[in-house]
Structure 1
Amino acid sequence: MSTPPAVDATRLRDALERLVAVPSVAFPGFPEAPVREAADVTVAVLEEAGVTGIERVDVPGAPPAIYAHLRAADPDAPTVLLYAHYDVQPGGPEESWTTPAFEPTERDGRLYGRGTADDKCGVALHAAALAAFRGEDGALAPPVHVKVLIEGEEETGNGTLSKLVAADPDRFRADAFVIADGSNVATGTPTLTTSLRGMAVVDVTIDTLEAPVHSGVAGGPGPDALLALSRLIASLHHDDGSVAVEGLDVLPWDGAAIDPEEWRAEVGVLEGVDLLGTGPIADQLFVRPSVTAIGIDAPTVDTAANALIPRAKARLSVRLAPTQDPAAAAQAVIAHVFAHVPWGAQVTVAEGPGAPGAILAGEGRVAEAAARALESGYGAPAVRIGSGGAIPLCADLSTIYPDAAFVLWGPGDERSRIHAGDESVDLADLERAAVAEVAFLVDVGAAGR
């Protein structure tokens, strides 16, 4: 692989700070003007990098997507699509931030602010990588055909962009998709994400009484709905914490391992509290199912009356092996629920929105080029991990383009606190990620189709 051109670290950081300063939250109820402003800043950042022919693609009911198509000198060169998103999660409680969420601030080599790691850093590093291919005349001369696609509503989970791509697949077709919405396992450790878990959601409602009944009158023989729901939730796991629902896929994992004690500290497991399940932590997080009760509707302690509860409801969030069909998984959970209802209680279930998982570029020419590029950028061998969270767009694109390869990476790390207060990115790793992306484009271009 030839020596890749250099990245302008100052321009890279400036672009990220300008993007982070815009509170581009695309959820309903938040102002639309900052989201439109973030789209404008995204266009400006790309134009300053030398990208021409930028289009604002109308996405029905959503902020515009930003799109550009740059052609290499060689018409037979492969095509690489670079993806990121300019919308962010809400800032959240002010007290969770050391400095304001939308005032980018450097501390100890890290840039803090909402979107620094998820995912305005992706926009900035794509722009910086493309700018490295500017010639003396200011025109870009990338070694591959490049398509740029920046989304404005990824965090909402609406999936509108996937529908847009599916409606016009030739426009967005590529040999390789680079999704800059991943993270490294640790600062300075270059990481390729090669699998994504999917997700299913099931709401379960238990009814046992026509109305609340005083516990002194009915306590004992009276069937309390909250107790029934608690027993039902407990049935979802074996005593060791492994999932008891039958019919959920389990895959082998051969990527990087996770040290249990380091993971305990990272997640904040309290001293003396056991970890759940069996087998290696990485297997459980990346290629096995999990079931979590993420919410319960029942009286709060402060407002509780001394009475049996007639109705209780829980939302079950199910993470799935990358190969699992979300609808089939939801039906497996529902079957388990009906088979384990205690005391003849009445049960109502509702299936929520699901998301498929995906197997990404773990091997093959593109994966090898990505691993070499990461080692070139970071000066250390790349490791492979899975993602316990779902990224529906990756799964959708892999379905629309089954012959394409997918590279999921990004400069975030174990300290980035994505979606939480004090979100941050390591500035040195941000530059390394941009250098790696330049090296990847050069490598793919040199290899040809």
Structure 2
Amino acid sequence: MTTTYAIILAVAAILGIIVLISHYRLNPFIVLVTVSFLIAIAAGMPMDHVVSSFEKGAGHVLGHIATVIALGTILGKMLAESGGADRIALTISDRAGKNRVDWAMMIIGLLVGLPVFFEVGVVLLFPLAFVLSARTNTPILRLALPLAAALSVTHAMIPPHPATLLALDAYHANTGYTIFLGVIIGTPIAILAGPIFSKFAAKYVPITEENPLAEQFVKKEVPTNLPSFSITVITILSPVLLMLIGSAADLITTPKSKLNIALHFLGNTDIALLLATILSFYVLGLARGFSKETILKFANESLAPTALIMLLVGAGGGFGQELIDSGISKAITDAAVSAHIPLLILAWLLAALVRLACGSATVGMSTAASIAGPILAHSPHVSPELMVLVTGAGSVAFGPLNDAGFWQMKQYLGLTVPQTIKTWSAVETLIAVLGLVFVLIASLFV
């Protein structure tokens, strides 16, 4: 297969996904599966290998990520039902004061966003944004956008979110170092795209229509019997701390010793999240007066909405595997290496294009990582950890209309489509561009 033909196929596949999902409004999962099969056949892959290749890619991705999605979702559910999210929001906002409540919402988003999906974080925390907006007489955009920007940054750049874990695996990056760099780079991005940008957005995009959803939340009283701030934060941060300990195991213990092996085991993503979830069952469940049956009900309810997420993640992995097994990825890799295209920029562009195509940041990041991963093997001078971050930044670009988060923001804030584009799509694009710029600057030192 010639390089030109491989590039044409890849571009045609991405454009086809964009058109089928955005213009014809077809189901993203069906589109990804169909395009994956067609591109493999067009590349000359034997038909008896087409399906097995897709299943291999989807199975590898889901085998690595399904447990993380399930455990993270259950942990988020316990945080919501126990009032833990309320406790964090009220404590931080009370200490910040009225004039800095937008900054407080950003900090809340960074903390709560660590263990939960973006969509879950919005459901958990936007009711509090409405309440604080009414209490402090602050425009809702001044509170909602910093919160959502922080949730988006953690979703894209900081493990243990599923997409970042897939990128960690594809790039063979160090988990602890990635978390460290993600916090260092992600925090100023959240500041610029959150509290700073929201001041302009609230000024130039005034919300004049009544929002029944906001009124519904504002009328509700915040529960008084909430878990303590300290135990809630410990529960949220425990999986991150365990992963950091696992990453530092070789530095603080003798490699291959029993203690070293135990620390690596505890720092494993699945184990860290499992222990945090079990901890939440007690401190946010039984200790709060919930029965075992109620906790089981919470866990079962939280898993149902993850089905589509898992299907899309699996389809993204299958699509990436078809590109690899058909030889398209290698042809593009060889062209990129010979043309000396900056790998950090290439990974960002790939993630942004797939994000635009299917709307999912998770699929964008996982697909881009599966393509750029083999190229990284030929570029030892590029930091794998920065590759994770730049791919995550690209994966949230544009905030397109085929993203569920776009419509979630529109409905919650009572915006029109043009207003949502001017606010939320602008925030997502700002995060993506700032992420690329900051990572390129960091690459001069890392």
User: TM-score of the superposition, structure 1-length normalised?
Assistant: 0.31
Structure with greater Cα Rg: 1
Higher helix share: 2
TM-score normalised by the chain length of structure 2: 0.31
